[in-house]
Amino acid sequence: MAYVSIAAKTRKNPPHWAVRQRDLIALMDRAAHPFVEHSTRPDGTLIQRTEWTSMDGTDNGYEAFLSFPLFYLLGGGEHIYQIAGKEWDAITWQYANYGTVEREFVTGFDWFHHSESYTYIYYLALADPAHLINRTRALRYAAMYTGADPLAPNWDAQRKMIRSPLNGSKGPRFVTTQVDWDYHRPILANYLAPFEDIPGADSSDPLFKVDWTDDEVFAQVLDLINQRMTRCDVPLNLSVTSLITNAYLYTGDDQYKTWVLDYLQAWEERCAANGGIMPDNIGPEGTIGELMDGKWWGGYYGWRWPHGARNIVEPAQVAGSCALLMTGDD
């Protein structure tokens, strides 16, 4: 491989913006220590509640420090990278003790939140590609979605689909409970109702909402979620391609590239079969609308609920970007 050398033969004063940028980096370098001392114990665990019952929230722990390895890449000090590694280990251990992490990976949640957690491990990979433990983690995480890990049967190789929108180190999570949702019930009451046919709800307004804090209403919503949403593949799962691509970047192994291309193609075919509109739910037999009375909308993090098109478009862009990165073919 030929390398290009660039040599500076004269010295000039750096531009003002560059000086200010370095001043900011130096300030952030110093600010890291008081932030860590305020937020964590000496062992790195977060100073927060002693138990965790919701299926949501693990991502928030990782998000507190996921910018550290990125900042290190942009010019932060070596201590920033050391903190980043220590906090990844400590937070993973802490949430394993809560019960939401097993084998160093979240047991079963969606890729809206997994993506927020595992951006951290991607930045750590960029910061030190030779780190053996993180390399091993990357391959182990990928195996949970390629079908290579029997303890995490998330992947249906025959139908080229991920079996649930809730997935992780324990495989697909087909049933959710009241405890899983309790924390968010007041928040979700402000969103559109997840279904258009909730018993007793006035659905004459397409933008109608239901009161998740009402126990009777919530019981109906929870039952429908478990009947219809949790046993489908959804576009949100396309974000898994980032995890598989991370393994490819470590190894160059074509099995990971093939998996990403196959899964992306499966969704392209589903979109084509639906008249060019991305369906947001694929049932257990691989059929669009299989658990939604034939409707191509109504899936978990789909066109209707909770955020709409954003969670269709972003995962598709992630998957397309991963495919482009590995193939160079647009």
Closest CA to 210 of 233, 245, 186, 235: 186
* Lookup result for tokens 């279904």: 195
- % the chain with pLDDT above 70: 99
| pLDDT of 138 above 90 | yes
Neighbours of 151 (CB within 10 A): 11
Q: What is the mean pLDDT of residues 197-225?
A: 94
| Contact in structure between 55 and 166 (CB atoms under 8 Å) | yes
What residues pair up with 162 in beta bridges, in sequence order? 155
The tens digit of pLDDT for each residue in 34-44 reads 999 999 999 99
Secondary structure E strands in the chain: 101-102, 105-106, 155-156, 161-162
Using 50, 70 and 90 to split pLDDT, how confident is the model at 5? confident
Q: Which amino acid is located at 244 in the chain?
A: I
Within-domain flag for 305: no
Within-domain flag for 74: no
Long-range residue pairs from 219-224, CB within 8 A, at least 24 positions apart, any chain: 221/193, 221/194, 221/195, 222/176, 222/177, 222/178, 222/181, 224/194, 224/195, 224/198
Within-domain flag for 207: yes
| Contact in structure between 191 and 306 (CB atoms under 8 Å) | yes
pLDDT score for 328: 93
Task: For residue 223, give both structure tokens.
Answer: 């039952």
Nearest 5°: CA angle at 313, between 307 and 314? 85
What is the rounded distance in angstroms from the CA atom of residue 45 to the CA atom of residue 47?
7
pLDDT score for 202: 86
The tens digit of pLDDT for each residue in 60-89 reads 999 999 999 999 999 999 999 999 999 999
Q: In terms of DSSP H, where are the helices of 225-282? A: 240-251, 254-273
Within-domain flag for 25: no
The tens digit of pLDDT for each residue in 261-276 reads 999 999 999 999 999 9
| pLDDT of 1 above 60 | no
β-strands 155-156, 101-102: how paired? unpaired
pLDDT score for 2: 67
| pLDDT of 3 above 90 | no
pLDDT score for 51: 86
The DSSP code sequence of 176-191 is --HHHHGGGHHHHTTS
- % the chain with pLDDT above 90: 91
What is the rounded distance in angstroms from the CA atom of residue 119 to the CA atom of residue 62?
9
pLDDT score for 57: 87
The tens digit of pLDDT for each residue in 220-234 reads 999 999 999 999 999
How many structural domains comprise the chain?
Answer: 1
Q: What is the dihedral of CA 64, 45, 51, 175, to 10 degrees?
A: 60
- Alpha-carbon Rg for the chain, nearest whole angstrom, is 22
Within-domain flag for 202: yes
Q: Roughly what angle, to the nearest 10 degrees, separates helices 240-251 and 132-146?
A: 130
pLDDT score for 290: 98
Q: Is 101 helix (H, G, I), strand (E, B) or coil?
A: strand
Within-domain flag for 206: yes
Query: Across the chain, what does the average pLDDT equal?
Result: 96
Closest CA to 68 of 57, 55, 79, 56: 79
Within-domain flag for 200: yes
* Lookup result for tokens 């049933």: 175
The tens digit of pLDDT for each residue in 94-114 reads 999 999 999 999 999 999 999
| Range of the structural domain that residue 211 is part of | 178-224
Q: Which amino acid is located at 293 in the chain?
A: D
Q: What is the mean pLDDT of residues 177-205?
A: 93
